Each structure stands twice: as structure tokens, then as C-alpha cells.
Amino acid sequence: MFSPETETLSRKKIQELQLERLKYIVRYAYENVAMYKERFDAIGLKPEHIRSLKDIEKIPYTTKDDLRDNYPFKLFAVPMKKIIRIHASSGTTGKPITCGYTRQDLDNWSTCIARVLAMAGATDEDIFHVAFGYGLFTGGFGLHYGIEKLGATVVPVSSGNTERQIMLLKDFGATALIATPSYAMYLAETAKKMGVLGDLRLRLACVGAEASTAEMHESLRNILGVFPTENYGLTEVGGPGVAGECREKAGMHINEDMFYPEIADIEHNKVLGEGEKGELLLTTLTKEGMPILRYRTKDITSLTYEPCKCGRTLARMARVVGRTDDMLIIRGVNVFPSQIESVLMGMPELGKTYEIIVDRVNYMDTIEVRVEVGDTGLLDDYGKLEALVAKIKHNLRVVVQLDVKVKLVEPFSIKRAEGKVKRVTDLRKK
């Protein structure tokens, strides 16, 4: 463990620490960020009204629109002189979401990352190949400094040029890969195609920045021969390092001394209990540069406070099912892309790349899944092909309760992403 004293605190001690920090950060945000002062004043809320952790529920949510409205730096709580780094969201449309860090914020951030990597089983002997983009995106630099803090070796390759990445993975003898799950899979496929899979020394893959399924992890384990773990975070609260899986793979441990998590049913303005599924809210407990209270992440998950078999007591969040804004409503049925992925990845006859196309034809929603076959030979055998399509349709129907059109395509015919993958095209939005 990287911070054993914190990662094994009793629930009572964690809560005491959280309450002390919550009271501090609420007052700090109120006194230093105009938006929070206005919000609190408008409802007659004062920092001293926060006396227990439950009192957090008196505080209004912070949303992405609040961040957009205060673009670029109006939510910073310190003078610019104290901000030593800025990152921004990877969003491709409109103005990005910004985040500013003080020196202390960067130090806390790298501690969070070092913990997450140690949870995954990494040590100072590992050589990390970082395939996340370096730049405004929090992934590259975020992981980078955490790896250094752990004392391991960092190879800051950044994204792009996949064949060169394979060469470097092989030549530098990387033992740990940092990438999105979809890019980790693309690297695996490419190494296989280049015939060098057996030359790689990778033992860990720490994936994050997009949703992954248990089936995707299983495929990474089988193809790349790594122990995969996932980690979670978002620009608005600082980037990666909010939470990460340990070797038990029983949920992601949240760095609860730095982030206070809640699960909410937004529609009914209600905080949900342990195990209940809803939208994750996060409050930063230590951020100086840009404190955020009750941020609506839009990510759907649930929490457990049961101590983990690994010895950590930090609460765990379940794998993210999807984002509220990624949920597809097809003929009235709610479908998350992750449900489709779990079906496709669970079928060994199929490749690991797929796309989902949603449309509306004659006022009727349609959903089509295009998925690569594992082996080109299949495409020449009509009988086998028909049987496979029928099997996929059946498996999808069981999970998503919809008739899904299925099209099998050749290996490598679907475009790969070098960062976050976009699997869904919703033509109804045109």
C-alpha cells in the first residue's frame, strides 16, 4: 500500500477526517469562490450550518453548466500566481471544462495516483508505458507524476503511432501499460498482428478514462497476458486518481480522504444508501486551486463501505454502468452501451471491436450492432455466419430486451481510437 495509514483507517476515523475537511472546504469555497457564495446566500446557507457529514445534503449540486458558465478561471479559489498547472476536458464540442492546480494539489494528485497504481500491484520496479495523451487531457500528466512518486520508471509515449508503440513496449521492456481499455486492446491486436505478442513483458494494464466491462478485462488478460485493473476520475475534480481497483477486483477504492462520494437519485433529489445505484456526486476535500462541492458526475454506479479483502477500508465504487447522457432510449427501453459490450466480449467467435448505430426509420427507433469477427474464414461460410448472427441476436435480446440488427464485419475494418473510443452513433440527433 502506498499510504497504509490512510488506506486502512477505521470507518469512524475516515468519517472524522472527512467531516473536518468538509467543514474546512465548504468555508474555503464560500469565502473564495463567488459562485459558491452566491449559491449559499441565495438559500440562506452558511458554512457553519455544515456540522455533520449528512449536512452536505443542504448544499446545492454543482453541474457541468456551472463550470461552463464560469469558464475559464472564475471557479479558481486562489490568485493565478498560486496556480501552477491547468488542464481541460477532452470534450470536442464547445468550450472545455478547466481545472487549476496549486503545488499542493499536484502533490495530492500524484499521491492518489501512486496509491491507485500500488493497488493494481505495481511497485517501484515497474516500467510504465503511458499511452494517454499528454497535453490538456488529465490522463498523461496525471498518471506520469503518480508513477514517478511511486518510484517506478515512466516512459511518456503519449498517444498515436501504434506500431511504434509496440516497438517501444518491446524494446524498453515495459511491465505496465497505461491506456484506455479500448486502446489497450488495439495495442494487443496490433502486437499480435506484428507477431511480437510473445516478446512483450507486460504484466499489468491500468486502464481508465472510459467505461470497460468485466468481459473486456478478461479479454485483455487472455490476449495481452496482463492483470488488468481500472481506475476512475474526471477533469472537473482534478482528473484520474479518484478511485482504482485493487487485485481483488471488487470495485474501485475511492481516495476518500481527498474526495467525498455520494450516490444520488437526481430526479427525486435524494441521496441513496449503500449498494443503491444512482449518479455519483463528488466533493473535493483538499483541493485549493478549484474546490468543487457535490459535483454531478453523470456517472452511474453504487458504493460499498465493507472493508475489502485486500485490507483497505476505503469505500469502493462499482464499475460505472454508463453515463446518464450515454443511456440510449430505444423504443422506450433504456440501453447502456456497456450492456452490449458485455455480450459481445463474452463471445470468443467475435473480435473485440464493435460499433452501435441508432437511427429512426418511419418513426421507429432502430439499433444496429456492427462487430468484427475473430477470424476472417468465418465470413466465407454462410451457414456458420447465419448461425453466429442468430446467436448474437439471441444473447443481446436476453440482456437488452430488444431486437438488435447485427452485422458481422471483417477484422480491422472498424476504425480504432487512440484515446477515448466513441462506439455509438446516434443518427436520431441529426
* Residues within the interface to ligand DLL (CB under 6 A): 89-90, 132, 138-139, 208-211, 230-235, 239-240, 297, 299, 320, 323
Residue 316 C-beta: closest distance to ligand DLL, Å = 13
Nearest to 228 by CA among 219, 237, 236: 219
| Dihedral over alpha carbons 181, 182, 186, 188 (to 10 degrees) | 30
281 versus 400: smaller Cβ distance to ligand DLL: 281
Least gap, CB of 66 to ligand DLL (angstroms): 15
> CB of 349: closest distance to ligand DLL in angstroms?
26
Distance between CA atoms of residues 85 and 390, nearest Å: 53
Residues 32, 79: Cα–Cα separation, whole Å? 10
Q: Which residue is nearest to ligand DLL (CB)?
A: 208
Q: Least Å distance between CB 242 and ligand DLL?
A: 8
Residue 194 has phi, psi (to 5 degrees) of -80, -5
Q: How far is CA 380 from CA 30, 41, 239, 350, in A?
A: 66, 69, 46, 15
Beta strands in 83-196, from DSSP E residues, in sequence order? 85-88, 98-101, 127-130, 153-155, 176-179
Work out the angle at residue 238's Cα, subtended by the Cα atoms of residues 248 and 207, and round it to the nearest 5 degrees: 35
Instruction: Kindly tell me which of 6 and 213 has the beta carbon lying closer to ligand DLL.
Output: 213
Q: Are the C-beta atoms of 27 and 47 separated by less than 8 Å?
A: yes
Pick the closer one to ligand DLL by CB: 45 or 280: 280
> In the complex, what is the shortest distance from the CB of residue 297 to ligand DLL, in angstroms, rounded to a whole number?
5
Residue number with CB closer to ligand DLL (251 or 291): 251
Q: How far is the C-alpha of 184 from the C-alpha of 218, rounded, in Å?
A: 12
Q: For residues 158 and 297, which CB has a smaller minimum distance to ligand DLL in the complex?
A: 297
Q: 348-379: buried (b, 16+ CB within 10 Å) or exposed (e) per residue?
A: eebbbbbbbbbeeeeeebbbebbbbbeeeebe
CB 313 within 8 A of CB 7: yes
**Minimum CB distance to ligand DLL, residue 154 (Å):** 14
Nearest distance from C-beta of residue 387 to ligand DLL, angstroms:
33
Pick 18 or 182: Cβ nearer ligand DLL: 182
Helices (H), 8-74: 11-32, 34-42, 64-69
Nearer to ligand DLL, 102 or 297 (CB): 297
Query: Please, which residue, 231 or 395, has the CB nearer to ligand DLL?
Result: 231
Q: Rounded to whole angstroms, how far apart are CA atoms 188 and 176?
A: 13
Q: Minimum Å distance from CB 210 to ligand DLL?
A: 5
Residue 184 or 285: which CB sits closer to ligand DLL? 184
- Give CA–CA dist 228/145, Å, rounded: 21
Shortest approach of ligand DLL to residue 282 CB, angstroms?
A: 10
